[in-house]
Amino acid sequence: MIRQIIIFILITALMVGLSACAFNDKNNTKGDSKMLRKEDVMKSNRRSIYLAGGCFWGVEGYFKKLQGVYNTETGYANGKSSDTDYGSLKKSDHAETVKIEYDMSKISLEELLLHYFRIIDPKSVNKQGNEEGRQYRTGIYYPTSDGEKSNKTFDDSDKLSAAHVADTKTSIKSLLEYESKKHGKLAVESGKLNNFVKAEDYHQDYLDKNPNGYCHINLNLADKPLTDEHYPVPNKDKLKSKLDSKAYDVMKKNDTERAFSSPLNDEYRRGIYVDKITGEPLFSSSDKFKSGCGWPSFSKPILSGKVIEKNDTSYGMKRTEVRTKGSDSHLGHVFDDGPAEKGGLRYCINGASLRFIPYDEMDAKGYGFYKVFCK
């Protein structure tokens, strides 16, 4: 009788643990290279940033390929007047600019800006590719609610609260500081969006309509990782010696650690969380939040493509499993009951599968690139 009671308690604890990590299910999977549809993106997750990087045909073509971007629009920004057209840019002093609308739960502003700096010459003044002139200057412009009257295409992706505007400014400042350390003095403008005017129809989606049209950007770069790091996966024998039994069971046998058992559940220092097997960065402290579920919880991965998501129907439930892309190891599950202000998702992750790298140790341990993701 006592044995039956113990078995019952253990089974109940397991099911409670699994259900606690499954407040709501999320069945969409990533990996589709097609652009998101606006109607599929929650209004609270819609964000926009305006980027000037030379001829806007190529800039738009590049960002349309990124996972998490759901709409782009070419136009003219930060000129002297509230109206202009392509033939009047020298007079109005507008810059050719692309409005990029994205789902903040799928891609961060930091990641978008790293892509931006990848495709521009940040030290070149009024020149990108073969084009020269003020209209081809580089700039990063963010929307604010008080700019609504001077933006004729203002919509819900531009409606940022004061807190979101402050967060956007912090992200831009951090990226500019990071890039200036690499390149020296930059020629990239940054500031509040003003006088944005949508470009003529023939400029919209130009490279889709003219595949052989002029483009000063290598669009294939959009399909490649932002970093060329390599994180080798140890063989099975080395793997068993590298991991403790709990980590091995979680990562390679899809086990679940006991709720509130991981020290990382209460870890809130600045830094990153990496794959315990390979050391590949997976999550940032900036995206960690207290969920009360008993497992470390994050609003999104540190970079899109760092994890893979799969349908999981085990234990009679419909869930979305999260696995590392590099070592193909079980991490946990993702649900749609996270904080709305952080994108609405909760990546419920087993602490046994992660290793924490404090911010102050990131440079010494080779993770300096990822410091821009730690606000």
Q: Are the beta carbons of 348 and 21 closer than 8 angstroms? A: yes
Task: Tokens for 170, please give them.
Answer: 């912090």
- 215 is annotated as an active-site residue: no
Report the amino acid identity of residue 318: K
Residue of 236, 345, 327, 312 whose CA lies nearest to 274:
327
Q: From CA 167, how far away is CA 187, in angstroms rounded?
A: 23
DSSP H stretches of helix in 243-343? 245-253
Per the residue annotation, which of 21, 55, 293, 374 is the catalytic one? 55
Per the residue annotation, which of 21, 215, 293, 348 is the catalytic one? 348
- 374 is annotated as an active-site residue: no
User: Within its chain, how far is the Cα of 330 from the centroid?
Assistant: 21
Count of C-beta atoms within a 10 Å radius of residue 180: 14
> What one-character DSSP code corresponds to residue 196?
B
In sequence order, the β-bridge partners of residue 322 are 309, 332
Q: From CA 74, how far away is CA 55, in angstroms rounded?
A: 10
DSSP state string for 20-43: HT-SS---------SPPPGGGS-G
Q: From CA 193, how far away is CA 40, in angstroms rounded?
A: 26
Q: From CA 100, how far away is CA 51, in angstroms rounded?
A: 8
Q: Are the beta carbons of 108 and 373 closer than 8 angstroms? A: yes
Instruction: Indicate the pairing of strand 271-275 with strand 281-284.
Output: antiparallel
Q: From CA 291, how far away is CA 335, in angstroms rounded?
A: 12
Q: In which element (H, E) is residue 222 found?
A: none
Q: From CA 212, how far away is CA 190, in angstroms rounded?
A: 32
Catalytic amino acids? 55, 348
